[in-house]
């Protein structure tokens, strides 16, 4: 019971919550407070053991990311070693005159073992260790870390696109794609941290050299000038202490630098380093056999060390023969296993089925690889959220559910380009600048902006791509400034609104009727297919959407279809009757709640001429003289522009027989002009004729 209580009390100190703060406090204490020799012995021994543990961990780890805490551990170990250097320097300079054991037995043992009574040998050995650590291992590890960090960051877009491609192809699911994206981010963070952490190792090697000269020169001066030591005594004491102190610092430093080099040079595959090296180095026995032959040839040359070379040649040749025999035995065993195995009848290739055909996406957004961050939430992209908001708003405004937008990358596009498709057909495309903002000229601005000139992809207005810092200046000059997410979202919204009728299929129409049946079951009961086919209902709704009339009031629309379909099942006739039923909604949508309705009319002579042209054909198209059609189109366009400049709606009112044809005639060339028939004007509206178009 007492042991359990003790463990419970020590548990907070044993876990990682207090370990790091306690270590930092201990490092600060080592720098400030003097340490006794026995404490220095324990800390130097711990430092060597820690460095050896870190190096072995980096050898046995299967993958660099499995040791992602290495940069932090490297920094802590470096700080520990530097703090020990400061503490040992204080003891060496204060107590070095008392003898070689002044700084503890560890420093004394390392110094005596290396020097062996010769100070020159000690300095040379220390210099060699410093050169190996600083020039070879540390410099190489630093360079590898820099290159790995740069190439890891540069390869991120390609890896992201590969993940998206596998996800779109159905090779992986959403969870695996998310895990692979997180692994890519962790890899970038790890190599970025290693690039910075390797600088600590390099700085530690430089600090070791400086501390060596400080201890040696400072100790010699203190010993001779303050403690009246002879030249030989001061040289003996402080040289041994300095070199011993340098060695117990440089050996852990060399181990950590080697660990860093081993870790950054590892491949990203999960494989033990020993298995990886042996498996690749001795995979082919020819390598070992040729090497043994060369060594054996050198061993028979007179004057060469024959015995060592011949022993190595014999051992290498024997190992090559053993490896070759093992590979032959494995090949024979594999052939025997294949011959003894029951022969399987070749499997016939599965017959192609309808499941092998992937359907075309109703709505698609394809982006170049530099635009991937805009649609990737892991990289802070907000475009997906914008698109969901657009779908919700358009669905509520029009009265049916807009299909999901399938977003994917397209390597055939320019890096900063995108295209919007409906059922595989491109309806909009543009090239943008993701690091800039678009300043749109709404028609009247006060000055010009420095930037890349272009056009708004949604409405074709003149625009300039500007730096983010120019936003306030552009707004002050009258420009409308939007970010790239808004540019793409607005373009998508415009296309969806213009082509909503193409997105309304029979499946969507059936869903609309099913929802209506929940509130008005008698209205829907027997409508399809007893009164009218589902295709006719779909065509009527498409006709309304094609002229920007929402189908939210599906109850009124269904009643109008039911009444008219009994008398005339023609979709165009049903559409005209439905428009009359929706007249209040249509006019309010165009002109608001104002009582005065400004309209444009056609001259009676012009209307009569158009009616005669329509009656002369059977397909609902009028054959007009080119000059007459061009003149009418020009005048209608001028009248619509005049209304737009006044801030009023552009509404052309004609006879019912002409409405459908004229609407198709100007739909794409004068998109702002709406065509109504006289029958569609509510009785409570006061008509105000603003223009009359004649011949």
Confirm if 471 and 479 have CB atoms less than 8 A apart. no
- Residue 113 confidence (pLDDT) above 70: no
- Residue 556 confidence (pLDDT) above 90: yes
- Residue 306 confidence (pLDDT) above 60: yes
Task: Spell out the residues 6+ positions from residue 477 whose beta carbon is closer than 8 angstroms to its own.
Answer: 445, 446, 447, 449
Q: What is the mean pLDDT of residues 128-133?
A: 74
Peptide bond into 454 cis (omega under 30): no
Of these ranges, 239-243, 431-435, 643-647, the one predicted with the greatest mean pLDDT is 431-435
* Closest among 630, 620, 635 to 573, alpha carbons compared: 620
Q: What is the largest CA-CA distance in the chain?
A: 129
Which pLDDT band holds residue 319 (cuts at 50, 70, 90)?
confident
DSSP string, 83-144: HHHHHHHHHHHHHGGG-TTTT-HHHHHHHHHHHTT-HHHHHHHHHHHHHIIIIIIIHHHHHH
- Note whether 396 and 536 are same-domain residues: no
Q: What is the pLDDT of residue 1?
A: 44
**Count of domains forming the chain:** 5
Backbone torsion region of residue 454, taken as left when φ is above 0, otherwise alpha when ψ lies between -120 and 50, otherwise beta: beta
- Residue 343 confidence (pLDDT) above 70: no
Q: Which domain holds residue 149?
A: 56-262
Stretch among 34-38, 364-368, 648-652 having the lowest mean pLDDT: 34-38
Is the pTM higher than 0.85? The answer reads no
* Angle CA 236–240–245, to nearest 5: 155
Q: What is the pLDDT of residue 418?
A: 95
| Distance between CA atoms of residues 419 and 424, nearest Å | 11
Task: Spell out the residues 6+ positions from residue 15 whose beta carbon is closer than 8 angstroms to its own.
Answer: none
- Among 468, 499, 530, identify where a domain stops: 499
Q: In what order do the strands lie in the sheet with 596-602?
A: 673-677, 650-654, 596-602, 686-693
- Note whether 616 and 574 are same-domain residues: no
- Say if 236 falls within a structural domain: yes
* Coil, helix or strand at residue 431: strand
* Angle CA 107–113–118, to nearest 5: 105
- Note whether 114 and 206 are same-domain residues: yes
Average pLDDT in the chain: 79
Stretch among 122-126, 220-224, 300-304, 648-652 having the lowest mean pLDDT: 122-126
Q: What is the pLDDT of residue 65?
A: 72
- Note whether 216 and 314 are same-domain residues: no
Q: Encode pLDDT of 193-243 as tens digits.
A: 776 666 776 677 677 777 777 777 777 777 777 777 777 777 677 777 777
Q: Encode pLDDT of 399-430 as tens digits.
A: 999 999 999 888 888 889 999 999 989 999 99
Q: Encode pLDDT of 347-359 as tens digits.
A: 555 666 777 677 7
Q: What is the pLDDT of residue 543?
A: 93
- Among 499, 528, 562, identify where a domain stops: 499
Give 408: exposed, middle or buried? Use CB within 10 Å, 0-12, 13-18, 19+: middle
Q: In what order do the strands lie in the sheet with 417-422?
A: 405-409, 363-367, 417-422, 425-431
Stretch among 96-110, 316-330, 390-404 having the lowest mean pLDDT: 96-110
Which pLDDT band holds residue 324 (cuts at 50, 70, 90)?
confident
| Distance between CA atoms of residues 87 and 91, nearest Å | 7
Q: Encode pLDDT of 254-300 as tens digits.
A: 787 777 777 777 655 555 555 656 666 666 777 777 777 887 787 78
Backbone angles phi, psi at 537, to 5 degrees: -60, -45
Of how many residues is the chain composed? Answer: 695
- Say if 40 falls within a structural domain: no
- Residue 8 confidence (pLDDT) above 60: no
- Say if 508 falls within a structural domain: yes
* Angle CA 359–360–364, to nearest 5: 140
Q: What is the pLDDT of residue 278?
A: 64
| Distance between CA atoms of residues 668 and 312, nearest Å | 88
Q: What is the pLDDT of residue 166?
A: 65
Q: Which stretches within 341-466 are classed as H helix?
A: 372-375, 383-398
Q: What is the mean pLDDT of residues 604-610?
A: 86
- Residue 116 confidence (pLDDT) above 90: no
Q: What is the pLDDT of residue 290?
A: 78
Q: What is the pLDDT of residue 478?
A: 86
* Angle CA 168–171–173, to nearest 5: 75
- Say if 660 falls within a structural domain: yes
Q: Considering only residues 95 and 371, tell me which one the structure prediction assigns the higher pLDDT.
A: 371
- Note whether 478 and 575 are same-domain residues: no
- Note whether 515 and 551 are same-domain residues: yes
- Helix, strand, coil percentages for the chain (3-state, nearest 5): 65, 10, 25
- Note whether 103 and 241 are same-domain residues: yes
* Closest among 578, 529, 583, 528 to 555, alpha carbons compared: 578
- Say if 29 falls within a structural domain: no
DSSP E strands: which ranges in 159-233?
A: none
* Coil, helix or strand at residue 633: helix
Q: Considering only residues 601 and 627, tell me which one the structure prediction assigns the higher pLDDT.
A: 601
- Note whether 479 and 536 are same-domain residues: no
* Residue 657: other Cβ atoms inside 10 A: 14
Task: Spell out the residues 6+ positions from residue 684 whose beta carbon is closer than 8 angstroms to its own.
Answer: 595
- Note whether 470 and 610 are same-domain residues: no
* Coil, helix or strand at residue 689: strand
- Say if 34 falls within a structural domain: no
* Closest among 457, 529, 467 to 490, alpha carbons compared: 457
- Residue 502 confidence (pLDDT) above 90: yes
Q: In this structure, is the dihedral angle defined by the CA atoms of residues 135, 136, 142 and 143, taken in order, positive or negative?
A: positive
Q: Considering only residues 268 and 51, tell me which one the structure prediction assigns the higher pLDDT.
A: 51
- Residue 5 confidence (pLDDT) above 60: no
Say how many CA atoms lie within 13 Å of 15 toward its Cβ. Answer: 6
- Note whether 563 and 600 are same-domain residues: no
- Among 541, 559, 581, identify where a domain stops: 581
Backbone angles phi, psi at 453, to 5 degrees: -75, 145
Q: What is the pLDDT of residue 86?
A: 79
Q: What is the mean pLDDT of residues 43-52?
A: 82
| Distance between CA atoms of residues 600 and 688, nearest Å | 9
- Residue 341 confidence (pLDDT) above 70: no
Q: What is the pLDDT of residue 20?
A: 63
Q: Considering only residues 100 and 331, tell me which one the structure prediction assigns the higher pLDDT.
A: 331
- Residue 77 confidence (pLDDT) above 90: no
- Say if 629 falls within a structural domain: yes
Q: What is the pLDDT of residue 376?
A: 82
DSSP assignment, residue 15? S
| Distance between CA atoms of residues 503 and 582, nearest Å | 22
DSSP assignment, residue 528? I
What percentage of the chain reaches a pLDDT higher than 90? 19
- Residue 569 confidence (pLDDT) above 60: yes
- Residue 658 confidence (pLDDT) above 90: no
Q: What is the pLDDT of residue 19?
A: 62
Query: Which CATH number covers residue 482?
Result: 3.40.30.60
Say how many CA atoms lie within 13 Å of 228 toward its Cβ. Answer: 0
- Note whether 79 and 228 are same-domain residues: yes
- Say if 413 falls within a structural domain: yes
- Note whether 251 and 392 are same-domain residues: no
- Residue 465 confidence (pLDDT) above 90: yes
The continuous run of DSSP H or E covering 601 comes out as strand 596-602
Stretch among 314-318, 344-348, 490-494, 585-589 having the lowest mean pLDDT: 344-348
- Residue 2 confidence (pLDDT) above 60: no
Stretch among 141-155, 534-548, 634-648 having the lowest mean pLDDT: 141-155
């Amino acid at each position: 019971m007492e042991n359990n209580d003790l463990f419970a009390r020590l548990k907070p100190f044993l876990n990682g919550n207090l370990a790091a703060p306690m270590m930092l406090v201990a490092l600060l204490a080592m720098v400030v407070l003097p340490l006794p020799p026995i404490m220095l012995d324990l800390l130097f021994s711990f430092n060597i053991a820690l460095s050896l543990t870190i190096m072995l961990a980096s050898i046995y780890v299967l993958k660099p990311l499995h040791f992602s805490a290495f940069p932090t551990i490297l920094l802590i170990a470096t700080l520990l070693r530097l703090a020990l250097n400061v503490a040992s320097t204080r003891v060496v300079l204060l107590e070095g005159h008392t003898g070689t054991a002044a700084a503890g037995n560890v420093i004394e043992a390392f110094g005596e073992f290396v020097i062996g009574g010769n100070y020159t040998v000690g300095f040379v050995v220390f210099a060699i260790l410093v050169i190996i650590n600083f020039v070879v291992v540390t410099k190489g590890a630093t360079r590898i870390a820099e290159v790995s960090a740069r190439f890891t960051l540069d390869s991120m877009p390609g890896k992201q696109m590969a993940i998206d491609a596998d996800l779109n192809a159905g090779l992986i699911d959403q969870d695996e794609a998310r895990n692979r994206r997180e692994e890519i981010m962790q890899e970038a963070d790890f190599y970025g941290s290693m690039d910075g952490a390797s600088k600590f190792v390099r700085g530690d090697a430089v600090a070791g050299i400086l501390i060596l000269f400080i201890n040696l020169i400072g100790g010699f001066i203190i010993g001779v000038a303050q403690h009246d030591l002879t030249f030989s005594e001061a040289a003996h004491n402080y040289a041994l202490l300095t070199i011993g102190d340098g060695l117990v610092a440089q050996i852990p430093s060399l181990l950590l630098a080697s660990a860093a080099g081993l870790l950054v040079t590892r491949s990203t595959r999960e494989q033990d380093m020993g298995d990886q090296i042996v498996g690749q180095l001795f995979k082919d026995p020819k390598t070992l056999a040729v090497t043994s032959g060369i060594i054996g040839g050198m061993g028979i040359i007179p004057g060469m060390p024959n015995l060592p070379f011949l022993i190595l040649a014999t051992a290498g040749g024997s190992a090559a023969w053993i490896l070759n025999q093992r590979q032959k035995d494995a090949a024979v065993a594999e052939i025997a296993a294949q011959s003894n195995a029951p022969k399987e009848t070749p499997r016939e290739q599965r017959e192609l089925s309808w499941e092998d055909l992937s359907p075309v996406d109703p709505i698609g957004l394809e982006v170049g690889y530099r635009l991937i961050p805009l649609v990737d939430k892991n990289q802070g992209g907000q475009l997906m959220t914008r698109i969901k908001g657009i779908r919700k708003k358009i669905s509520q405004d029009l009265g049916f559910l807009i299909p999901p937008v399938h977003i994917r990358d397209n390597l055939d596009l320019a890096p900063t380009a995108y295209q919007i498709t409906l059922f595989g057909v491109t309806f909009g495309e543009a090239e943008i600048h993701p690091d800039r903002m678009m300043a749109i000229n709404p028609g009247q601005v006060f000055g010009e902006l420095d930037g890349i000139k272009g056009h708004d992809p949604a409405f074709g207005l003149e625009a300039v791509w500007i730096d983010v810092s120019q936003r306030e200046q552009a707004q002050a000059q009258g420009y409308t400034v939007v970010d790239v997410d808004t540019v793409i979202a607005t373009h998508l919204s415009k296309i969806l609104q213009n082509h909503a009728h193409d997105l309304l299929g029979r499946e969507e129409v059936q869903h609309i009727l099913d929802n209506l049946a929940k509130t008005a079951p008698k209205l829907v009961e027997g409508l399809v297919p007893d009164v009218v086919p589902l295709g006719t209902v779909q065509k009527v709704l498409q006709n309304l959407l094609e002229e920007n009339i929402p189908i939210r009031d599906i109850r009124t629309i269904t009643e109008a279809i039911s009444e008219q379909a009994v008398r005339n099942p023609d979709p165009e006739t049903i559409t005209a009757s439905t428009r009359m039923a929706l007249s209040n909604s249509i006019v309010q949508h165009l002109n608001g709640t104002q009582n005065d309705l400004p309209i444009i009319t056609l001259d009676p002579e012009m209307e009569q001429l158009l009616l005669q042209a329509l009656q002369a054909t059977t397909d609902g198209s009028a054959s007009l003289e080119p000059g007459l059609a061009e003149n009418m189109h020009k005048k209608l366009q001028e009248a619509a522009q005049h209304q737009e400049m006044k801030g009023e709606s552009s509404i052309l009112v004609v006879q019912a027989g002409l409405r459908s044809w004229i609407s198709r005639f100007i739909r794409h060339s004068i998109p702002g002009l709406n065509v109504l028939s006289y029958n569609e004007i509510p009785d409570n509206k006061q008509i105000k004729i603003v223009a009359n178009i004649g011949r």
